[in-house]
Amino acid sequence: MPLETLRKALSIWPTTQDADLVQLREAFSGIVSADFEQVDFLNIPDGGRWGIVSKPLASDSRAVFLVYPTGSDTPNLAVLVLEPGGWRLQSLKFQCPGCFGTGELTGRSIEENQPCYLCGATGWGAS
Ligand SMILES: [Zn+2]
């Protein structure tokens, strides 16, 4: 189940940016996907711990959850993928509160939409 994998990952998620990447890779083996980017480990929750706030938006092989640090209103997006060994966390990234991940700030009409300056139009960005 993707939720169990996500809970496991969040329960051992680093709380400081100086965590040892070699140890992290070991601790998270079997929890993160083959293409997980280690830079996501630098995404440290402001409030100390993560809280899962949404039900998964899931397909057969991919599940997406909205996750907030406890005591913070910064939305983050957790993406899980189904690999041969089971569900794995593929990414946990800050979700831009300006454009909600679209990369565009909505104008009054589609012609007035502008690239989001808060996240450099990436939508998920690096915090
Ligand atoms: Zn944005």
* Model pLDDT, residue 9: 96
CB neighbourhood size of 57 (10 A)? 12
Nearest alpha-carbon partner for 53 in 40, 71, 35, 37: 71
Tell me the residues surrounding ligand 1 (ion) with CB < 5 Å: 96, 98-99, 116, 118-119
CA 37 to centroid of ligand 1, rounded, Å: 20
Which residue reads 């990369």 in tokens? 103
pLDDT of 127 > 80? The answer is no
Q: Is 116 left (phi over 0), alpha (psi -120 to 50) or beta?
A: beta
pLDDT of 125 > 60? The answer is no
In the chain, what are the domain boundaries? 2-95, 97-127
One CATH from 3.30.465.10, 1.10.3720.10, 3.10.450.50, 3.30.1130.10 for 2-95:
3.10.450.50
Angle at 40 between CA 38 and CA 60, to 5 degrees: 95
Q: From CA 7, how far away is CA 105, in angstroms rounded?
A: 32
Give the model confidence (pLDDT) of 34-51 as tens digits.
999 998 998 998 777 898
Mean pLDDT of the chain: 88
Give the model confidence (pLDDT) of 10-31 as tens digits.
999 998 888 898 999 999 999 9
CA 114 to centroid of ligand 1, rounded, Å: 10
pTM for the whole structure: 0.79
* DSSP state letter for 19: -
CA 112 to centroid of ligand 1, rounded, Å: 15
CA 95 to centroid of ligand 1, rounded, Å: 8
Give the model confidence (pLDDT) of 61-107 as tens digits.
999 998 998 888 788 889 999 999 999 999 998 888 788 778 888 88
